[in-house]
Amino acid sequence: MTLQRNFKRMLIEVHGDLHLLHVGEMDIWDGADLALLREGLFKLIEKENCRSIAIDMRFVKYIPSGFFGMLFDWTEKRGVQFALTPPQPNVQKMLWFQKFFQLNEAGMYDLHTEPVNAMMPASSEQQDSLMMVTT
């Protein structure tokens, strides 16, 4: 069973230990969006002790570069495991994404603290299974 709750304009779905954050269908995140996400993540990580968080990136075409650094810091300092739903090609081309994210069996991209070798785009079966989680 999936639990849902809202934090400001974000929807948070709870799937067991995994918290999936939906920021909405915006294709460009600006500094205000990043601040909202930072606040939501702070609440989940520091107040609720969440250690497995996924962020819905399906619609995002551009994000501030600080987004990846923020996730990386929480991974290193608090042991949080982050995953991203498959983002748009513009985000996939960003250096941070290419260097530190790797596709997992569920069709999401896991953040690693060491550079990863190769990324492969999500297969259609992985995309279909992911759609069941995110819809």
Q: Whole-prediction pTM value?
A: 0.81
The whole-number pLDDT of residue 125 equals: 54
Q: State which amino acid sits at residue 45.
A: I
Please compute Rg for the chain using Cα positions: 14
> Residue 19 belongs to a domain with what CATH number?
3.30.750.24
Q: Could you give the dihedral angle defined by the CA atoms of residues 28, 9, 66 and 113, in that order, rounded to the nearest 10 degrees? A: -110
Instruction: State residue 64's pLDDT score.
Output: 85
Parent domain of 120: 3-134
Q: What is the pLDDT of residue 119?
A: 47
Question: How much is the pLDDT for 133?
Answer: 55
User: Which three-class secondary structure state does DSSP give residue 60?
Assistant: coil
Give the angle subtended at the CA of 79 by the CAs of 25 and 58, to the nearest 5°. Answer: 15
pLDDT by residue for the chain (135 residues), tens digit each? 678 898 888 999 999 999 999 988 888 888 888 888 999 999 999 999 999 999 999 999 998 878 999 999 999 999 999 999 999 999 999 998 999 999 999 999 999 999 987 545 555 555 555 545 555
